[in-house]
Structure 1
Amino acid sequence: SEYFVKLGKSKGLKFVGSMAEVPSIALMANEVAEVADFVSIGTNDLTQYTLAADRTLGSVANYQTAWHPAVLRNIKLIADAGKTHDMPVGVCGEAAADPDLAVVLAGLGVTSLSMTPVALDDVRAELAKYTLQEAQEKAKRALAGEFYHPAE
């Protein structure tokens, strides 16, 4: 990723970041955060690859949920690296538009959410109900699997 960032900056880009869509970037999050200006987590792909459940394959598509503790732990690894290295970490995808999950994401340390404009009011209203400390507590509960309900 250091090469990629240097290449982007040599081409005149002021900010060069990375999409996080596979679990390996969570494992390398500190190294990425040392050189990248930001990371944007694509939760749809991250969920698919973390759970090894293709979202286009009907027999396993129901297992696609960013509420799974493994997905949330990957997000936390990236958010923690962002905090350590003062690097913004955003989330895009369906997870960012889920008002309840947006609270958990904020509690995990995500610094921005990208969603369809239709979802903004509901997400904003839900986030306003919580202090950061309350969101962090809800995130701890989510990491423990309290809100995860496997598809039947």
Structure 2
Amino acid sequence: MLTSTVCAAVSAAGLGIAAITAYRKRFLAATRIAAFSLIPIGLVMTGVIDWVTGIVFKPTVWAGFGLLALSFVLFMLSRAAERRRGGIGSRNERKAAAATRPDAVAPAASAPSLGAGRTAAQPAAKGKAAPDKAGAPKDGFSDIEAILKKHGI
């Protein structure tokens, strides 16, 4: 009841200020002031003010907010302690898991290609590359040229 009276008084005062502003030929400002001054009485008429005052002035509601805050603080403290101790999902646990699993699914798949005639046991000859049939030194592109010719490109 008291909040409804206060809101009605605020709205009446705002409409009075809007009328004075309109009298001074500042119609745009007067319209804005009138719009803002109608908000409190509109909130009273819709029942929002009674709902808000019911929340604000009930001790059980504040106790509920206090319990929610306490729950949040306890949760954050447990997370901080878990990180400091090295609990679930810690850096130490991730390192241990990485050490136990294999490096790759197919380790040979990531090995570099050694060409058709060489194996890992036979390293390439150092120095000049052996010339091919055309007399040019054999380089890495000859394999690519052979593949392209095979596919007709």
Query: Which band: TM-score by shorter chain?
Result: under 0.3
Structure with more strand by fraction: 1
Larger Rg: 2
Structure with more helix by fraction: 2
Flag the structure with more relative contact order, 1 or 2, with Cα contacts below 8 A and sequence separation at least 6. Answer: 1
